[in-house]
Amino acid sequence: GNSVTQMEGPVTLSEEAFLTINCTYTATGYPSLFWYVQYPGEGLQLLLKATKADDKGSNKGFEATYRKETTSFHLEKGSVQVSDSAVYFCALSENTGNQFYFGTGTSLTVIP
């Protein structure tokens, strides 16, 4: 079956620190992979995506590379800001199906 596992939170970092949030997946086919971000009191927003192996998704300084050999899609940012404080969700969708499979979310707090 399909599933997503992401690192447990919460994560607390100082401003300008390097961020990594780990995400691994299990899929029966060839999924697309996504990172969503949820700011306090809001719904989920698409942050970035990758649709095939070795693709790199990027947006707002965040990056993630689709690694088929390790079934991973780790989220990274070189220098976090206070405004990056949010909950981050890793997700996958099978390209032949309509459902998404989400990780449990990782809460990030960035302190000045």
Enumerate binding residues for another protein (CB under 8 A). Answer: 32, 34, 36, 41-46, 49-51, 89, 93-100, 102-105
Q: How far is the CB of 110 from another protein (least distance, A)?
A: 20
Nearer to another protein, 61 or 97 (CB): 97
- Nearest-angstrom CA–CA distance, 46 and 14: 24
Nearer to another protein, 41 or 112 (CB): 41
Nearer to another protein, 2 or 17 (CB): 2
Q: How far is the CB of 112 from another protein (least distance, A)?
A: 26
Centroid of chain to Cα 99: 17
Q: How far is the CB of 92 from another protein (least distance, A)?
A: 11
- Nearest-angstrom CA–CA distance, 7 and 16: 21
Q: How far is the CB of 6 from another protein (least distance, A)?
A: 9
Strand partners, 50: 33
What does each C-alpha distance from 68 to 17, 25, 81, 89 come to in angstroms? 28, 10, 30, 19
Asked if residues 91 and 100 have their Cβ atoms less than 8 Å apart, the reply is: yes
Nearer to another protein, 52 or 78 (CB): 52
